[in-house]
Amino acid sequence: MKYYSINNRSALVDFKHATIEGQAADKGLYFPTEIPKWNKSFLKELKDLSKLQIGFEIMKPYVGGSIPEDQLWKIMEETISFDFPLKQITQNIFILELFHGPTLAFKDLGARFLSRCLGYFAKSIGSKITVLVATSGDTGGAVADAFYKVEGTEVIILYPSGKVSNVQEKQLTTMGDNIHALEVEGDFDACQQIVKTAFADPELKEKLFITSANSINISRWLSQQIYYAIGQSQWTYDEAPVVSVPSGNFGNICAGLVAQKSGLEIKHFIAACNVNDVFTRYLATGNYNPTSTQATVSNAMDVGNPSNFVRITELYNHKIDEVKKHVSSDSFSDAATEGAIKKIFDTCHYILDPHAAVSYLALEKYIDQHPGNKGILLGTAHPVKFPSVVERIIQQEVPIPGQVENVIKKDKNAMLVAPNFALIKALILQIVK
């Protein structure tokens, strides 16, 4: 398998190069030259395969010869070491819980796969790899945990000051060792722009092996297909489900769309958005107009210019009519989001986090408009990560899972910085000596 920059189709690289580089030199995102078609036997036997077998078979063609199969299997064992249960909420709506990993977020899978791949590659290149990542919430914690003490890596996380939850902040600022947190006085888009600028900076590229752990990195992005297949392996109905995805930087839903193109039986996708609705407006008008980010209770979705939008359009040859055949979108206010959390808790005794609540609203609306369908929403984070919102609504404490019990007691260790690239560049060079 080869990969090309969306900005330049002629420059082909392998999985190792694309993973280490993160973003192409021309600032384009990497994209596979082909989307593998999954064997009919694989799809037919999905319900009988283990999580490890599913993950291994999905990623094998993307990795190609960059990682030996025995090492890929070992990486998969360390990546998929937790469950992804499918649970019923209402008669027609199910939730795929993706928050049973070490940091209680869906990003644990992609971050762990990426960290293990980079750890393997670091041994072969004989040089330290610097991982630079921007986070709107859960990515930071997942990356910090996944890369903690991974030999040959140094991790620098940029996050927007005051715009992540307390649990999220503690997860990304308390690890120490090779994990460094920069608290940026700005929003997520400012953090993301600094990361993109860093990848194109000649001095940083000359002095460091620098890569990204955001969903712009193919290893993190493409590995997210795995839990869609694991979810499908638990689906017991003859008709394929509609799948609703909380959407921020659009790497998650784009991975699902790739899985669908490979043969996974998903009837339709819904990109569930909060008031940061650039994609919803794009489908409605045909115009893509990024805007400034607005802060919401579903903070991980607060993205005004999602990086992976270009991958979705690339997947469908930049034809909006083709995009619309596979995905629709709706956006919802904080008031509606909070109303959904209360409704589902009162009627179904299930606690949704704010992101899953947005996804629920989108799926509920779709099924109301298309009777007879059943659907799956993605539960991307445990509600304990958003206690100030969730506990106020349900009027009781959310039980604290063991994964975060000790983390929230630790002291935050982060450097407060202005959203200034020159300043942050100097800090990066100082950290990675």
Q: Which of 16, 51, 107, 170 is catalytic?
A: 107
Among residues 40, 10, 43, the alpha carbon closest in space to that of 25 is found at 10
Coil, strand, or helix at residue 8? strand
Instruction: Please give the Cα distance from 378 to 361 (Å, whole number).
Output: 12
Instruction: Please give the Cα distance from 200 to 316 (Å, whole number).
Output: 27
Establish whether 107 is a catalytic residue: yes
E runs forming strands in 247-396: 268-273, 327-331, 375-379
Tokens of 431: 């950290």
Buried b (16+ CB within 10 A) or exposed e, 210-224: bbbbbbbbbbbbbbb
Backbone phi, then psi, for 291, in 5-degree steps?
-130, 175
CA distance between the termini of the chain? 34
- In terms of Cβ atoms closer than 10 Å to its own Cβ (0-12, 13-18, 19+), residue 126 is exposed
Instruction: Please give the Cα distance from 333 to 335 (Å, whole number).
Output: 5
Residues with active-site annotation:
107
